[in-house]
Amino acid sequence: MLKAQMSSHLTDNAVQRRRVLGACVLLTYALLYTCFAVGSSLVPVVVGKSALSPGDKAWLALSAIAGAFVAIYLIFFFTGIKLEWQTSWKRYGLLFILGSAVDGISNYLTHSSWLGVPNHALILVLTGVANVGMLFAAVGIGLIVAQGMRQVNYLVMAAIVAAATDIISVFMGPTKHLITTDAFAYLSFQWGILGLGDISPIIGMGDFIFLALFFTGVRKFGWAAHKTLYAMCFALAIGLLSTLYGPRALPALPFMAVALLITHVNDIKQARVLQAA
């Protein structure tokens, strides 16, 4: 009886610590989002210039990479929380529904005449809330899909399919057309870009769905999740820099898929050996 009470007390303390840590993570996101959103209106605008100077590109790169790192860490953190219903796909479905609702409503209000005269501060707040809703929706989908990931080969195939699908989608598929519409705001992570004078979409929701899948799969097979975090940050930074300094926009998932497979190549080989034994 005493052991049961002690175990219950420890579990309650662990849950409480996770809640406090989660609140701190969200607060840190809010502070960084605010700093870049406000800073984007203070740094001279570079849009419209015939050619960007190295300094202009540095501002753009700094902002986009910072926003990407924040988003990746949020996905990493919230896919790593082990709740009592960790194996319940229904709860993950609820997370997706609630996240989508928050994202949709917040974005709708920012583009709606209901607000009357546009209030820039309120729009920034609603966009920041929409980001969190979109990320939670992506986490929900990623965790639902990860429930069926019973073998390492599933994770490898997910990385390959993600890369191939993203390439097709960006260059000749739906993403190519979506990024030119207002709907892209509903399905992207928006961040203050220094030099653009405002917040701007930097990463699409599809990338975060696969990120959630990658992080969950890595943890499920007992691999070092922190290595995956570093690899995803590095890969996305390379992708963003290639887009900024290259001739055209490039899809992000191929960079992340390759980084995942390279980072865990030994883990994949070992898992296949054990599976064959």
**How far apart are alpha carbons 144 and 85 in whole angstroms?**
12
Q: CB-based contacts of 252: which residues, under 8 Å, 6+ apart?
A: 166, 203, 204, 207, 235, 236, 239, 240
**How far apart are alpha carbons 106 and 53 in whole angstroms?**
35
Here the tokens at position 227 are 């290595």
Here the tokens at position 155 are 């994770």
State the pTM of this model: 0.88
Sign of the Cα pseudo-torsion (17, 18, 19, 20, in order): positive
> What's the domain range around 219?
2-276
Label residues 9-24 b or e (16+ Cβ within 10 Å = b): eeeeeeeeeeeeeeee
Do 204 and 131 touch, CB atoms closer than 8 A?
no
Over residues 21-69, the pLDDT tens digits come to 888 999 999 999 999 998 887 877 766 555 667 777 788 888 999 999 9
Q: What is the pLDDT of residue 15?
A: 67
Here the tokens at position 236 are 């996305």
Q: On the CB side of 203, how many CA atoms lie within 13 Å of its CA?
A: 32
What is the DSSP annotation of 46-65?
Answer: -TT-SS--HHHHHHHHHHHH
Over residues 169-224, the pLDDT tens digits come to 888 777 767 777 777 777 899 999 887 778 888 898 999 999 999 999 999 999 99
Domain count, the chain: 1
